[in-house]
Structure 1
Amino acid sequence: MTASYPQHTPGAAAPEESAGIPPLLRGVMWVAIGALIAGAILCVFWVLLSPEGDVIPKAFLTIIALAAFAGMSLMDAQLAPRRTSWLVLVSMLSWVLVLLCALTLIWVPAENVFVVVKVWFFILIVLFVQLTVLHQRIVWRAHRRHVTGFTRTLTVITSVFVVALLFMALVPLTLPTYFDYPDMYGRIMVSLAILGAVGTALIPLITAMFGPKRLAAHVEAARTLPWPTYRDGVTPLPMLPDGQPDFDALRTGVPSPGARSFGSPPAQAPHHPNPGPQHPAPPAP
């Protein structure tokens, strides 16, 4: 009779390792993979049907954009365990938005717009998107310090204004000559910028005024440490006007002037000086 032992194969641990990936991180990775595949298919479609002759430079720039997006997606996946769930998702969606804007800048024809101008527009796109993500991190972190109905509503409205301002700024940067932007378009952007700035300033201001105050370090340390007592181990020492224990009372048995006593100090044995060596009495006759 022979006993059969389970054999370990290299691929046996793969399902267990993949099962340990958080669902949100797995979804973010699939978003990155789907964006890469969709971007590649869209670029192939433009290559086959584009009437212009400068296809090779655009294809080279497309490969660079896809490789950069893959690198940023990998970096977000590495930083995901140290971030909150919503920040992981928002960061990945921001890079997907940057990739879409980059592909549009590369392949959509724009008359009288040079390559250097397009590169500058792309830098501005990345800067605006990442500044928006940073703004959301700061605003929602300040909101968590003092959560009320008013602060939550103010934070949501401010976020809507900032995100709307971002999309309105990305459209002329991505399609500079595709639309005729009227003067009212710029006025709406300025209005959104003012409202977003006011909301961003109000959130930390309200938190500082009505939120919980931080105590001083020595007060927090005094609360965590036990209050000292007399030598009997029961009666607490008096408290000085500055909030510190009266250690002189422990030495002298009398509270210092101005100290607040929590009980009468225990009676101490009277202190007698050393009488010196005693001579034995002489024996009785």
Structure 2
Amino acid sequence: MTVPERPQSTADSKLIRIALWVAIGALILAAVVCVVWVLVGSDNDLIGRAFLTILLLAAFAGVALFDARLAARRPPWFALASMVTWVVTLLIGAVLIWMPTQDWYFYGSGFGRFASYLLIVLILQLALLHARLLIKAHLRHVTGFTRAVTIITIAIVVILAIMLILPLMFWEYVTYADPYWRAVVALAILGAVGTALIPLVNALFAPKHPRAVAYAAPQLQPWPTYADGVTPLPVMPDGSPDWNAYYTGYPSSVPQAIAPVAPLAPVAPPPGHPDAWYPPATSEPAGPASAPGYEGYPPPPPLPPRP
């Protein structure tokens, strides 16, 4: 069974179109920058860099198409933010491919930059996922305090992501001193505190969803049958079994023909017939409440006398 997609508004469609145009513009810009680098740059590993650039552009095109297909199932802001994140990933990849290498570094080869690029992609995607989950939690209970905490926390996480990405990109050329990493740790602590505040506030003040109480369904008793133990008794107008038919073998009224009334036991002759027989009179009243039958049902009628 296919799940119907959420209908898109005009604003949603505009955001998706903007995201696609951003992807197209980034693809063209990256291609132009790489071509200029090829024309004016050095001849060091030119063929390898060009091949990696082609792979990067192809991968970005595939990711952009995949994001466009998922845009209808996502919030509009998240679709645009996801496309912008992949655009930043593309530009960072192009810089890492064409940036001159420092051969005196052990990890200055392509493998070191490839590992750094994978870490950069992971950091960007985690920051995007953090923003989506935090905003989703914030929407459960929107107040001025939670709105301010959400905005500040997302800004801190974005700055933290940038400060983690810069050393991965330019560690060959820049040495990051101790104050830089102290600031990174401080931002990480503030981001963690802001992230934890929203669920705590929701747990205290957000409206609780009522839980469905499970009630045990009463166990239905089996419908009574004729003396044969197979054919069910007809239904009376009030919904109760036709107990009289249990003794006579026939329904008490014609409208009861809606129920299976053909007994499988031998049919007794109607009243007034010479061969008719009647159950012996008893001093106790007959009925479901006083009958000693099985589970409150009347006992089976006595068999007719045999010759």
Q: 2:96 aligns with which of 105, 117, 121?
A: 105
Structure 1 counterpart of 2:264: none
Q: 1:172 aligns with which of 167, 171, 175?
A: 167
Per the alignment, do residues 20 and 136 of structure 1 end up closer, same or farther by CA in structure 2, a change over 3 Å counting? closer
Secondary structure, aligned partner of 1:218: coil
Instruction: Please state if 1:135 is matched with 2:126.
Output: no
Encode CA deviations 1:188-228: one digit per residue, 9 max, x unaligned. Answer: 11110010011101111111111111222129x9xxxxxxx
Mapped partners of 2:121, 2:59: distance in 1: 12
Deviation, structure 1 residue 177: 1.7
Ranges of 4+ aligned residues in structure 1 off by more than 6 Å: none
Deviation, structure 1 residue 105: 0.8
Q: Tell me, yes or no, if the aligned pair for 1:110 and 1:178 is still in contact at 8 Å.
A: no
In the superposition, the TM-score normalised over structure 2's length comes to: 0.64
Deviation, structure 1 residue 20: 12
Query: Counterpart amino acid of 1:74?
Result: L
Deviation, structure 1 residue 52: 3.5
Encode CA deviations 1:118-140: one digit per residue, 9 max, x unaligned. Answer: 11101101110101111011100
Per the alignment, do residues 172 and 78 of structure 1 end up closer, same or farther by CA in structure 2, a change over 3 Å counting? same
Mapped partners of 1:38, 1:136: distance in 2: 27
Deviation, structure 1 residue 27: 1.0
Mapped partners of 1:109, 1:185: distance in 2: 25
Structure 2 unaligned segments of length 5 or more: list them. 1-9, 216-284, 287-307
Give aligned pairs, total: 206
Matches within 5 A, 1:35-50: 35-50=26-41
Secondary structure, aligned partner of 2:213: helix
Structure 1 unaligned segments of length 5 or more: list them. 1-18, 222-273, 276-285
Matches within 5 A, 1:256-267: none
Q: 2:86 aligns with which of 81, 85, 95?
A: 95
Instruction: Please state if 1:157 is matched with 2:152.
Output: yes
Mapped partners of 2:183, 2:196: distance in 1: 20
Mapped partners of 1:62, 1:158: distance in 2: 35
Q: Tell me, yes or no, if the aligned pair for 2:153 and 2:195 is still in contact at 8 Å.
A: yes
Query: Counterpart amino acid of 2:110?
Result: V
Higher helix share: 1
Mapped partners of 1:21, 1:66: distance in 2: 27
Deviation, structure 1 residue 101: 0.9
Q: Tell me, yes or no, if the aligned pair for 2:12 and 2:76 is still in contact at 8 Å.
A: no
Secondary structure, aligned partner of 1:145: coil
Mapped partners of 2:156, 2:101: distance in 1: 29
Structure 2 counterpart of 1:83: 74
Query: Counterpart amino acid of 2:122?
Result: L
Q: Tell me, yes or no, if the aligned pair for 1:76 and 1:92 is still in contact at 8 Å.
A: yes
Q: 2:21 aligns with which of 30, 45, 53?
A: 30
Per the alignment, do residues 27 and 183 of structure 1 end up closer, same or farther by CA in structure 2, a change over 3 Å counting? same
Query: Counterpart amino acid of 2:206?
Result: G
RMSD: 2.2
Deviation, structure 1 residue 116: 1.2
Mapped partners of 2:123, 2:209: distance in 1: 34
Moved more, 115-124 or 172-181: 172-181
Q: Tell me, yes or no, if the aligned pair for 1:162 and 1:193 is still in contact at 8 Å.
A: yes
Deviation, structure 1 residue 21: 8.9
Structure 1 counterpart of 2:200: 205
Q: Tell me, yes or no, if the aligned pair for 1:125 and 1:170 is still in contact at 8 Å.
A: yes
Matches within 5 A, 1:229-248: none
Structure 1 counterpart of 2:47: 56
Moved more, 50-59 or 137-146: 50-59
Deviation, structure 1 residue 90: 0.4
Q: Tell me, yes or no, if the aligned pair for 1:146 and 1:207 is still in contact at 8 Å.
A: yes
